[in-house]
Structure 1
């Protein structure tokens, strides 16, 4: 199939580099493309070194996440991780980096839309329960049942009685989850007023990110202080021993990602799972096998 061993190794190397380039795509998404492509021209040696250090650390932590994933499967553990924080706090960025190299059948993300008319008449936690993990699964909630303590409370989408009932119920609900064998970890991503303002401006002027700004996001800027008060009440009333809150300082996106992943790994006494050596079997070949050509009309045009 390959002319020689060197060609095979070059192909493998290119495939590996292609995988690593996914991280560069995220880097471009976070910053202006021309800034990335002229990195060596406009950045100091210290900044370039810091960027290289970031990627090295991230790749190492992602390797540990793969080990954690395999350990969760082997132990048939059930893990739930909640990511909460203000709009543009960086929750989606860290979720991307956690899941990037993991098996989506083991580690999946839940990001529910606003409840529909039927769901609004259900027990509040009911629509979240079907998404909880089975044995050997990790579920990341990109926002969670804490919507009631945040956006629903601040924007008046629920009554004061409903908010108070939430605060009475959520510690009991989470203790039930923990007693059932679910490991529940809760992160709050904290950013400053100035940093959120800057990130919103960045999204406004970036065509690739404008979709991230909803009318609700814009209103949250106006109600910054109300969200602050709601957050403080939430942390005070739902920080329980069985499922404490962990606050991630997220003004620096890269540091926040590394710190969150490092902390997440520290919450588990995981070990590398021994796996049998993988041996690639020889392909069976038949003399009468004929590969029929694909009709040209079915081929995707090779524009690039």
Structure 2
């Protein structure tokens, strides 16, 4: 049967056996060979649109996208030949030539996949002048900022919105320099069916999607002696925020978190533990009542994205 069939291929001179249906990229990773990519994401469908992951396959007249092409018996692949590296540089140069020149002030500076690829491939300057795409930044939304000039049309956001979240809010519209990822009828995010889940932000390789940043407003409030500033944290924060500071996953950080917030200048720190516990009690009581008299099912969530989705 197909699921039990094993395919033997050679990647950069090293033979490897993998299950049938494995892509070239996946086969390469079993050997520890990393193939650059932009549109690829392990949780999403295969796209093959960015072309960064191209490889050479013996007896094939053109480069092939390793993220979407499955291996075949006896296939011989080169992932890092001079021709492949030059082709990848050409693609990155073209992307950068149609990209804003503000890496040093961009919020994703140092955490941008396009920037990292440019550095790793030795792309240090822009080669072409001429027409570039031009879009206004949509920063009026409740939680999402959309900067379409930084979009590279990888469609990760489109796929995560439809395939994972099931919202189908984003799609690619127009053509040429006017091509843009947007809600239907070019609506603003808050006017569309967007549920504010933030997954488009999580998968975006550049800064085309960002969360609203209110950090400066908080600092201004803390610096105002006329304001009594409080912070209220969700129960999950104390067990997760430590990961962002290099602590082992699940490390309790309640005391350190409160100390840090007080040192920042917050006048009081509150926890929603009691409110969460009361909510659970009420949910249990309601469920018992519905179990006897209906209606069912009963769906509950404290996630704004889930509530918006429903």
TM-score interval, smaller chain = under 0.3
Structure in which a larger fraction of residues adopt helix: 1
When Rg is computed on C-alpha atoms for both structures, the one with the higher figure is 2
Choose between structure 1 and 2 for higher RCO, CA contacts under 8 A separated by at least 6 residues: 1
Provide the TM-score with structure 2 as the length reference. Answer: 0.21
TM-score, structure 1 as length reference:
0.21
